[in-house]
Chain A
Amino acid sequence: MQTTSDKELLSLIQSGDRGAFTELYKRYRRALYAFCARLLGDTQAAEDAVHETFMKLSTESSSIAQPAALKSWLFTVARNEALMTIRGRRDGARGDAESVWDDETPQSLAEKADVGRFVQGALSRLKVEYREVILLREFEGLSYAEIASVTGDSASSVKSRLFKARRALAGKLEGVWNEERDDK
């Protein structure tokens, strides 16, 4: 089945086609909501961020410079909305610049009993700049160049952050995986 491209849908939205907006919303709501919910760890804040993203699409569609990169544009807006929420929460608090982790709280025994929950818990403890690249790469399948365009960094910085995040997560999970394999 032939689907309308993002570029075509954007062009229709710019000409006032409400059906095109609805189609685009249905196409990206799940991915954007999941990204924001995982980045923020708060479903209500994620809902607000995605809502704002689509309102911006509705009002600023004519100013999108690269219609072919609409997916990156949507993730960029959603990310910025989410980061504003995170900055508001932190209220100026600064962590260790060298560390990959945002929260060093030890993981609970319940989390350790379930690898999935443990990974989820470890992911939520990563610093936001590491968490966002993992989310965009592993869950949304964005390329390094696309992630760089969303985060405003270089592709080599994205590469390096992904590597550091993976190494930190792998290190954290080492014990759990070993225990799990020993149990079997």
Chain B
Amino acid sequence: MKCDEMQLNISMYVDDALEAHSQEKMFAHLATCRECRMFLRRTLDLRAAFAAFPWPEVPLSLDRRVMAKHLKRGKSLKGATEKIRMLWSHRLSVPLPSAALVALALITVTVLSISLLQRPDVVSVPCLPAVDVYAGQPANPVQGN
């Protein structure tokens, strides 16, 4: 039981995760326990063996797949923003004199309409009297007509 606990501490020690006061206890135990000394040795041997492992080469096909997909996605996003930009620039690309002429025409029409409506000689169309459909008579005959 004690060795189990100590070996857990040894495992943490090689990972630099054991506190100083626990390290003191561990070294005191190691001085008297061959089995735990062996475990420390093997754990360090394992680390050395792992460090000597060859790193697998990243295949070119992975580079190609990832970059091709990413570029494709980038292009589709770029395409969408480009369309919006084109539409915007197309709207702005109407020649300025033409735009000014259209604006002037609109203002003229508006002003003319307003002034025409405000002239006193322009008679507005009278409303037709409401008819009582049951009596066949106007429900509220307009006075003086």
Give A residues with C-beta under 8 Å from B: 16, 18, 21-22, 25, 29-30, 33-34, 37-38, 43, 46-47, 50-51, 54-55, 58-59, 115-116, 119-120, 134, 137-139, 143-144, 159-160, 162-163, 166-167, 169-170, 173-174, 177
Contacts and interface: CB of A to CB of B under 8 A. Distances in A.
B49 A116 contact: yes
B70 A21 contact: yes
A182 to B, nearest CB: 15
A167 B39 contact: yes
Interface of A is mostly: helix
Which 4 A-B residue pairings sit nearest by Cβ, starting from the closest?
A170-B42, A163-B11, A119-B49, A138-B50
Contacts of B73: 58-59
Contacts of B8: 159-160, 163
A116 B62 CA distance: 27
B70 A30 contact: no
Interface in B11-56: 11-12, 15, 17, 39, 42-43, 45-47, 49-50, 52-53, 55-56
A174 to B, nearest CB: 7
A11 to B, nearest CB: 17
Given A43-B59, A47-B61, A166-B43, A144 B15 contact: yes
Contacts of A138: 46-47, 50
A144 B53 contact: no
B69 interface: yes
Contacts of B42: 166, 169-170, 173-174, 177
A116 B63 CA distance: 29
Contacts of B69: 51, 55, 58
**Which of A160, A167, A173 is most buried by chain B, counting CB atoms within 10 A of its CB?**
A167
23 contacts: A16-B74, A16-B77, A18-B71, A25-B66, A25-B67, A29-B58, A30-B58, A43-B56, A58-B70, A115-B49, A138-B50, A144-B17, A163-B7, A163-B8, A166-B42, A166-B46, A167-B7, A169-B46, A170-B42, A170-B45, A173-B45, A173-B46, A174-B42
Contact of A18 (B12, B43, B63, B70): B70
A139 B15 CA distance: 12
Nearest to A144: B17
Given A29-B58, A47-B65, A59-B73, 16 more contacts: A22-B67, A29-B63, A33-B56, A34-B55, A51-B66, A54-B70, A55-B66, A139-B53, A144-B17, A159-B17, A162-B15, A166-B11, A166-B43, A170-B39, A170-B43, A173-B45
